[in-house]
Amino acid sequence: MNRTVVDTSPAATPAAPSPSTTPKPPRRSRQIRSTTPSVTRKAQTRLGLVLVAPLMAMVVVFLIFPLGNALYYAFVDFNGINPQPPFVGLDNFVELFKDPSVWAALKNNVIWIVLGTIAPLVIGLGLALLVWGVPRGSLFYRIAFFFPYILPQVAVGVVWGWIYDPTRGWLNRGLELVGLGSLGTGWLGNPDTALYAVLGTAVWATAGFVFVILLSALRNVDTELVDASLLDGAGPMSRLRYVILPQIMPVFLMVTTITLVGGFSVFDIVFIMTGGGPAGATEVLGTYAYGNAFQLNRISYGTALALVLTLLAVPFAVWLNRLQRRLSLQGMGA
C-alpha cells in the first residue's frame, strides 16, 4: 500500500524508469476505458483471466477452502476420523472460555506481546539511531544486526539452549564471572524463568528486523530539523522525542503492529525450545491449540482456539493500521 513510506534503498525502484520523476499516471481503470479500443480491452480481459487463473486456483484451494473448513470445524465435534461430525454450536467456544489452561496460555501470550513488542522496539530503535549517520561500515552493522532474524528458528533454539544450559551454559558462567553466580539457574527448566528465557531469544532474533526498518525510516528524516534543534540546544532525549520520533511515527507504528500481532500467533520458538513446558510455564495459545489438535485429536477444539487467536489479533491490527495511515496522510512519514 504505502510502500513509499519505507522505500529508501535504491534497490526499491526497478532499474529503468524512475517513478518519482515521472508524474503519476491517472488511475488504471479509467485510463483503459477512455483511451483503448474495445478490441484491445477484450484482449486484455482475456489475458487478465488467463494470468490470474492459476493464482486464484491456488488461493481458493489452499487458503479460502481450508479457512471455510476452519469455521465449520469450530462448530462441530471433529476427532479426525468421524466423516460426519455432530454439530455442537458454540460448545467449543464455551469450553474455551471455561478452560483454565486457555487463560494461563493467554496470560503468557499477553506477557509475550507486551515485552516481546517493547524490547525489540527499544533495542531496534537504539541500534538504528547508533548506525544512523555513520558514514562507513553501516553495511556490516546491517548484516550483523539483521542476521539473527533470517535464521531458522530451530537453529536459534539450539544455540540458545546451550547458552541457557544450567551447568556449563554461557549465561550462568557469565553471571559467575561478574560475581552473580547465585542468580544462575536452569533457565529453560525453571518454571519461573522459562517464559522469559524463550522471550529473550525471540527478542534477540527480532530486534534486527525492527532495526532495519527503522534505519531505513531514519534515512527519510529531515536532517535540517535535527540540526536546527541542535542549535536550539535540545538534548538528545528531547531531540528524539520531539524531532526524530514524530517523523518516523508511521513506520514505527507499522513495526509495532507487526511485532504485536506476531505475539498472538507465536509458536515455532516456544514449541522448539520448551514445547510449552515445564509444567505449562511457557504454554501459549498457539502451542495449546497445536497440542489439542495433533496430540489429543481434539481437532475442533484446536481449530476454535486458532480462530479465537486470530479474532483477538484483528482489532489491534486494524487500530494500529488506522493510526499509521492517519499519520502518513498528515505527511509525517515523508
Helix %, strand %, coil % of the chain (to 5) = 70, 0, 30
Grid coordinates of 118: 517493547
When the beta carbons of 88 and 258 are compared against another protein, the nearer one is: 258
Instruction: Identify which of residues 106 and 127 has a Cβ nearer to another protein in the complex.
Output: 127
Q: Which residues between 275 and 314 bind another protein (CB under 8 A)?
A: 286, 289, 293-294, 299, 302-303, 306-307, 309-310, 313-314
| Shortest reach from residue 116's CB to another protein, in Å | 16
From residue 55, how far is each of 52, 58, 61 by CA, in Å? 5, 5, 10
Grid coordinates standing for 61? Answer: 484451494
The answer to whether the CB of 166 falls within 8 A of the CB of 188 is no
Which ranges of 60-99 does DSSP label H, i.e. alpha helix? 65-74, 91-98
Within residues 241-260, the interface with another protein by CB under 8 A covers 244, 254-255, 257-258
Cα–Cα distance for residue pair 232/100, rounded to 1 Å = 56
Count of residues of this chain found to bind another protein when the rule CB under 8 A is applied: 128
Minimum distance between the CB of residue 45 and another protein, rounded to whole angstroms?
A: 5
Give, as ranges, the residues between 2 and 61 that touch another protein (CB under 8 A): 2-3, 5-7, 9, 11-17, 19, 22, 25, 28-29, 31-32, 35, 40-41, 43-49, 51-52, 54-56, 58-61
Nearer residue to another protein within complex by CB, 113 or 307: 307
Binder to another protein among 75, 112, 145, 252 (CB under 8 A)?
A: 145
Member of 156, 194, 202, 284 binding another protein (CB under 8 A):
156
Of residues 96 and 307, the one with the C-beta less far from another protein: 307
For residue 11, what is the DSSP state? G
Out of 153, 185, 190, 220, name the contact with another protein by CB under 8 A.
153
Under the criterion CB under 8 A, does residue 233 sit at the interface with another protein?
no
Please state the closest distance from residue 285 (CB atom) to another protein, in A. Answer: 9
Taking CB under 8 A as the criterion, the residue among 200, 208, 263, 276 binding another protein is 208
Tell me which DSSP letter residue 60 carries.
Answer: I
Q: Report 70-129 residues binding another protein (CB under 8 A).
A: 70, 72-73, 80, 126-127, 129
Q: Which are the contacts of 296, defined by CB distance < 8 A and separation ≥ 6?
A: none
Residue from 160, 187, 252, 288 in contact with another protein (CB under 8 A): 160
Asked if residue 148 binds another protein (CB under 8 A), the reply is yes
CB crowding 72-97: b at 16 or more within 10 Å, else e: ebbbbbbeeeeeebeebeebbbebbe
* Residues 78, 269, 192: CA angle, nearest 5 degrees: 100
Cα torsion 190, 195, 196, 202 to 10°: value is 130
Q: Per CB under 8 A, does 209 bind another protein? A: yes
Q: Containing H/E element for 52? A: helix 38-59
Q: How far is the CB of 179 from another protein (least distance, A)?
A: 20
Nearer CB in complex with another protein: 43/177: 43
